[in-house]
Amino acid sequence: MVNLARFKPLTIMQKFFFIPLLLCLSLSLHSQSLRFGIGSCAAAGDGNNDDIFQTLEKERLDHFLWLGDNAYYTEKDWKNEESMLAAMQQRHASPLLASFLQSTPQLAIWDDHDFGPNDSDSSFAQAAASAKVFEKTWPDSPTNLATNGDLRWDLRMGSVLFVGLDDRTHRGSKGTQILGKGQLQYLRDLLDIHRDAAWVFIAVGSQVLNEAEVFENYSRFPERETFLSICQDHTGQVIFLTGDRHHGEINQSQRGSLVEITSSPLTSRSHMPSAGELKANVNLIKGTVISTQHYTVIELSEDGLAAEVIFKDAKGMELLVYSLQAQGLE
């Protein structure tokens, strides 16, 4: 059972943004185990169907965590802050999505398409304006852009620590940095403070454990080794939550107990990874690739020792169920 007295104290800035979500989570965690959802890549139009949000609303989750590409800017949108905000508000006004956003507490990180152009990085001219739009759009995510200069955040719930990292603001070209020294030190200090956390869920936009050097995976950046080392040193179970790839899968590091759950897409088009990628990714758990639109529910037991990862299609039908233990996979 989660002990609410162990919630991490919030700063004044975090209280301003986060009190509505905190109240909802507090009420739910008194009487049941933690049950939350994840997903990414929610393009509108182009034959995409928002029915999945109606299904998600019926799940009655403790909260939902968006893993980036939560909307898709076009060239006319990323001109300035006003045009980006208008585009995001238009996406969130879609009836089924709007109802889901109102019914369920929401947390979020971003990725390239809700940051700027496809595969955009720190060179994007409107990066600062885009970050302001994110904070206005996702007020329950306890970011502090004014202090940090990026959209990192953390949230402690009982024995569970949630961390949202920003892998767009500081990202350079292949072979350079992706999170930056500041965020890596922040994570190192955070995991030291929360060394007693049994579960640590770290949300980032791009895949971390996939060994194939394709698209925007962390395997293309040498900084990944420092990132993994910091996480590997934590005594609890660290799980990366990622999106981006338009397919779902589960990876586990060959060097330890680190686990990654990729959940993508919600409404965007889906596809299978290539044969070459499947061969190169030695961390992929066989039989876990999901190549259809879906979301994922993660249920932690009341004793905090186990979790179930449940991939579901747009109608709520189970596609895959996987069990996790606090020290690795079952």
Structural domain boundaries of the chain?
A: 4-329
CA angle (151 as vertex; 197, 262 as ends), nearest 5? 60
Contact 271, 278 (CB under 8 A): no
Interval 27-40 mean pLDDT: 71
Find, among 145, 167, 150, the residue nearest to 67 by Cα. 167
18 vs 313: which has the higher pLDDT:
313
pLDDT greater than 80 at residue 142: yes
SS3 325: strand
Share of the chain above pLDDT 70, in %: 88
pLDDT greater than 90 at residue 233: yes
pLDDT greater than 70 at residue 31: no
pLDDT greater than 50 at residue 328: no
The Cα–Cα gap between 105 and 101 comes to 7
Contact 83, 76 (CB under 8 A): yes
Contacts of 299 (CB under 8 A, 6+ apart): 33, 34, 35, 307, 308, 310
- For residue 29, the model assigns a pLDDT of 39
Confidence at 229, pLDDT banded by 50, 70, 90 = very high
- For residue 33, the model assigns a pLDDT of 83
Average pLDDT value over all residues in the chain: 88
Interior/surface letters 111-124, b for 16+ CB within 10 angstroms, e for the rest: bbbbbbeeebbeeb
- For residue 256, the model assigns a pLDDT of 81
CA angle (267 as vertex; 261, 273 as ends), nearest 5? 50
Average the pLDDT over each of 108-117, 210-219, 277-286 and give the range with the smallest value.
Answer: 210-219
Tens-place pLDDT, residues 75-131: 999 999 999 999 999 999 999 999 999 999 999 999 999 999 999 999 999 999 999
> 3-state secondary structure string, 251-312?
EECCCCCCEEEECCCCCCCCCCCCHHHHHHCCCECCCCCECCCEEEEEEECCCCCEEEEEEE
Confidence at 4, pLDDT banded by 50, 70, 90 = very low
Tens-place pLDDT, residues 244-281: 999 999 999 987 889 999 999 999 999 999 999 999 99
CA 310 to chain centre: 16
Find, among 95, 110, 104, the residue nearest to 56 by Cα. 104
Other CB atoms within a 10 A radius of the CB of residue 196 amount to: 10
- 28: which 2 tokens? 């739910």
pLDDT greater than 60 at residue 17: no
- For residue 305, the model assigns a pLDDT of 87
Peptide bond into 273 cis (omega under 30): no
- Strands of the chain (E only): list them: 35-39, 63-67, 106-109, 153-157, 160-164, 199-203, 237-242, 249-252, 259-262, 294-300, 306-313, 318-325, 328-329
- For residue 48, the model assigns a pLDDT of 66
Find, among 140, 161, 164, the residue nearest to 150 by Cα. 164
The Cα–Cα gap between 63 and 107 comes to 7
Confidence at 327, pLDDT banded by 50, 70, 90 = low
- For residue 43, the model assigns a pLDDT of 93
Confidence at 299, pLDDT banded by 50, 70, 90 = very high
Q: Across-strand partners of 162?
A: 155, 201
Confidence at 46, pLDDT banded by 50, 70, 90 = low
Fold observed for domain 4-329: Purple Acid Phosphatase; chain A, domain 2 (3.60.21)
